[in-house]
Amino acid sequence: MIRINKRGSVAFGGKPDDDLYETGPRSTTALELRDFGEEANSRLPNRGAGHGRDKGVEVAATYVMSNTNPTGWPIQALLGNNMHSGLFIIPDNGDPEGRFLYDPSGSYMSREIGSGRALYGPEVSPEDYLLYQLRDGPNVTVRKFATTPEEEAEIIRRADEIGSGGWAGCTTSVSEAVSGVGPFRGVEKTDWPVVLDRQLRGLNRHVGEATDLESLRRVLRKP
Cβ(33)–Cβ(123) below 8 Å: yes
Measured CA angle at 30 (ends 38, 153), to 5 deg:
35
According to DSSP, the residues that pair with 29 across neighbouring strands are none
Return d(Cα 151, Cα 138) in angstroms, integer: 30
Return d(Cα 152, Cα 218) in angstroms, integer: 22
Residue 102 has pLDDT above 50, yes or no: yes
Cβ(3)–Cβ(67) below 8 Å: yes
Residue 115 has pLDDT above 70, yes or no: yes
The string of pLDDT tens digits covering residues 80-94 is 677 899 999 998 887
pTM: 0.72
The torsion region of residue 125 among left (phi > 0), alpha (psi -120 to 50) and beta comes to: beta
Return d(Cα 114, Cα 35) in angstroms, integer: 5
Residue 136 has pLDDT above 60, yes or no: yes
The string of pLDDT tens digits covering residues 16-59 is 333 333 333 333 333 333 333 333 333 333 333 333 333 445 56
DSSP 8-state code for residue 1: -
Which of 67, 62, 70, 215 shows the shortest CA–CA distance to 141? 67
Return d(Cα 117, Cα 122) in angstroms, integer: 16
Cβ(55)–Cβ(149) below 8 Å: yes
The string of pLDDT tens digits covering residues 169-214 is 899 999 999 999 999 999 999 999 999 999 999 999 999 999 999 9
Of 206 and 73, the structure prediction assigns the larger pLDDT to: 206
Return d(Cα 169, Cα 19) in angstroms, integer: 24
- In the chain, the N- to C-terminal Cα span, in Å, equals 33
